Amino acid sequence: MPRLLLNCLAPQDAAPLALPALPAGLRLDDLAAQQWAGLRLRAWQMEADAASLDAARNWLEQASQQQAATDQIFRGLLLEEAPAAARLVLQGPQLDGRVLRRALDALHLAGFAAAGPLRANGAAVLQINVAGAAADLRLLNHRLAEAVADLSVDAAVCPADWQPGHFGLLLTDMDSTLISIECIDELADMAGLKPQVAAITERAMQGELDFAASLKARVALLAGLPESMLERVYQERLRLNPGAERLVAGLRAQGCRVGVVSGGFTFFTDRLKARLGLDYAFANTLEIKGGKLTGRVLGEIVDAQGKARILEALARENGLALSRCIAMGDGANDLPMLQKAGLGIAYRAKPVVRAQADYSIQHTGLDGVLALMGDGAGAEC
């Protein structure tokens, strides 16, 4: 049976919504009625059979015209097929009424409407159930991100069936994703070569250079660096990105396995695996002789395709479809694994990665991933 969804978002002190009288045989049922951050949200639904469908359409047009001159956001959505259920997730340090107004307006224009109550977690996470016609969620999320781009908030629409336990594996990049530095750039700094190496790193992460070739060129510049510099970088400069420990704890509580895969070096991934209690760690091995780096990498280099193959192998090992796997990264060499995973997340990423990833986290910590997965906690801002 066709279903009509109605939303009204208005300032709390605005006059109550005045709707035209309903034709005989039609009835509005309340879905949500609550106030938040100076706004009042009302949501209703109406079901209309074939005989009353034209009356429902005419009533909606009349109601829309009546509300057009007010400062309220009033939208109606007629769904002639079963609606697609989803969750709107807003995360950021300063969630306010502007954020909700901007996000709901963008969703309305894309054919979605509120279909359930708000769930607010302090000032960090706001979730609302929405419904609409089946849509390309990746395209919808990019449009939503554009709508709130100036508000320092991460916005996403996620399928309603993404609930705790849905995902069984998360594989994350290390440098500038799990941790705040590029380890190879910090090693180069110890050798007095950071500007040269960092310039190559940046071009590789933007996708301008072949990753394997660029890694070999950068490592070659480190020839002769004392092995002890690796420990210095780990102890003095390596820092976890915000929310890393909370993300891992939240994933493990859901029974999700967690791994790190890096185009960097095993010296660092092995230590992070032990420190965070990760299930997997994959990276490149630096050749060391006589207590010094030789400037070479041992074995096959973990590059973009290597990361994607590792994701596929771990999914098979755990009996998981790729749709139940999460991949996260910031550079161009992460794109193949992000595109294979059911949930590909660009974390504070380069523009080329944000443009192609399913979801983007720019303003909150790594624990913001939890809200996308259906965990009501989300990020601590």
Q: How many whole angstroms separate alpha carbon 185 and alpha carbon 189?
A: 6
In a domain, 164, yes or no: no
Q: Is 71 a catalytic residue?
A: no
Indicate whether 203 and 121 sit together in one domain.
Answer: no
Q: How many whole angstroms separate alpha carbon 244 and alpha carbon 250?
A: 10
Catalytic residue among 173, 185, 303, 330: 173
Catalytic residue among 154, 175, 185, 303: 175
Residue 190 domain boundaries: 169-372
State the residue for tokens 């939240």: 250
Identify the CA nearest to 278 among candidates 206, 201, 179, 371.
179
Indicate whether 210 and 298 sit together in one domain.
Answer: yes
Indicate whether 185 and 78 sit together in one domain.
Answer: no
Indicate whether 345 and 218 sit together in one domain.
Answer: yes
Q: Kindly give the confidence (pLDDT) of every residue in the chain, 381 residues in length, as a single tens digit, with 9 standing for 90 and above.
A: 788 899 999 999 888 888 899 988 899 999 989 999 899 999 999 988 878 888 998 999 998 888 887 878 888 888 877 778 899 999 998 899 999 999 999 998 888 999 988 988 877 899 999 998 877 888 899 999 999 989 999 999 999 889 899 999 999 999 999 999 999 999 999 999 999 999 998 998 888 888 999 999 999 999 999 999 999 999 999 999 999 999 999 999 999 999 999 999 999 999 999 999 999 999 999 999 999 999 999 999 999 999 999 999 999 999 999 999 999 999 999 999 999 999 999 999 999 999 999 999 999 999 999 999 987 666 665
CA 370, distance to chain mean position in Å, is 9
Identify the CA nearest to 380 among candidates 122, 147, 96.
122
Q: Is 175 a catalytic residue?
A: yes
- Contact between 214 and 297 under an 8 Å Cβ cutoff? The reply is no
Please give the tally of structural domains in the chain: 2
Is 26 strand, coil or helix? coil
Is 226 strand, coil or helix? strand
Indicate whether 36 and 180 sit together in one domain.
Answer: no
Indicate whether 53 and 140 sit together in one domain.
Answer: yes
